[in-house]
Amino acid sequence: MSSYDSDSDSGSPSPQEHAVPSIINPGKPISASYTYHSPLPTAPGPYILGVDEAGRGPVLGPMVYGVAFCPEAWKDDLDNLGFADSKTLSHEKRTGLLNILSGRSEHMGWSVRVLCPQAISSGMLRIPPINLNKQAQEATVLLIREVLDRGITLSEVYVDALGPTKGHEAFLSNLFPGINFTVEAKADSKYKIVSAASIAAKVTRDACLEEWVWEEAESSSEDAVWSSRVGSGYPGDPKTKAWLEGALDKTFGFPGLVRFSWATVKVILERDGHPVKWVDEGQAHLIQAFEAGTGRDKNRCHIARDLGIKSVGSL
């Protein structure tokens, strides 16, 4: 049985029929992050699990973390299924491998965490910020924990990671004692179970981007612009650059597909958007009180007036 979690929903609706089962609500906007779980495999454990992501660098669309898992005793069979780093495969090959992954339900399971662009941006722009590394770590931990909570016993976990790996490996080992963690760069090309996870993540992200539904389109005349080809979503892609330039609303910015926290977007908004000055209510009250003073109270802050402070000596 498939399951679903949403940051804004506590229910568990079943995914609709779709070529990519992790697209849980085809034809509807993605405005909150969610988790999809495939049916649980039934073969006895312990299991090995791989972790990989798709969409870390793009300025458009979600970042998707994927896990795949199979019995430790099934490693040799896994090696013969054709899994490889998703970046080296064609779209058709990746789709076929996801079907294989889903079709081996006795021995294999998989899950994805779809981090919507709105959540990525709000995390990175808040004070203090939740940077992308932290968001990625939280997605990894959530997926591993939920696989364990579903009754799967894990003996080994392999994680594809960028940058320093030892600290991440130590963090996960401490959080999940009894599981042997291996965190390596390019793990998706070294371990087939990580390759399978990369397929789940990449196919899900591609489907999200290709079938993106514009929740803003109902109240906007810009639907024709937003529905044009967006390219790969990477800042260096000429098609993505052209789409960003054409999709900008000078007052309201971009639709929810765009990660507002990316430098590429900040530069465009700063250069071409209408400048807006924001003053919070507290600040506005102080300014008004300061300007409203008369006589001896003129140009004195409202705190000094309210406390009757006439000089520093009175303190």
Q: What is the spatial distance between Cα 290 and Cα 213, in angstroms, rounded to a whole number?
A: 48
Give the integer Cα–Cα distance in Å for 48 and 76: 12
Q: What is the DSSP letter of 41?
A: P
Distance CA 220, CA 123 (A): 26
Token representation of residue 224: 């024709």
**Helices 91-103 and 192-210, axial angle in degrees (round to 10):** 120
Structure tokens at 78: 């896994």
Residue numbers belonging to the annotated binding site:
52-53, 160
Instruction: Return d(Cα 192, Cα 117) in angstroms, integer.
Output: 29
Judge if the upstream peptide bond of residue 128 is cis by omega within 30 degrees of 0: yes
Of 249, 202, 165, residue with least CA distance to 55: 202
Picking from 136, 113, 186, 161, the residue whose alpha carbon sits closest to that of residue 169 is 161
* CA–CA–CA angle 195, 162, 184 (5° rounding): 55
Which phi and psi angles does 141 have, rounded to 5°?
A: -65, -45
Annotated binding site for a divalent metal cation: 52-53, 160
- Single-letter amino acid, residue 19: A
Amino acid at 77: D
If you ran DSSP here, which 8-state letter would residue 237 be given?
-
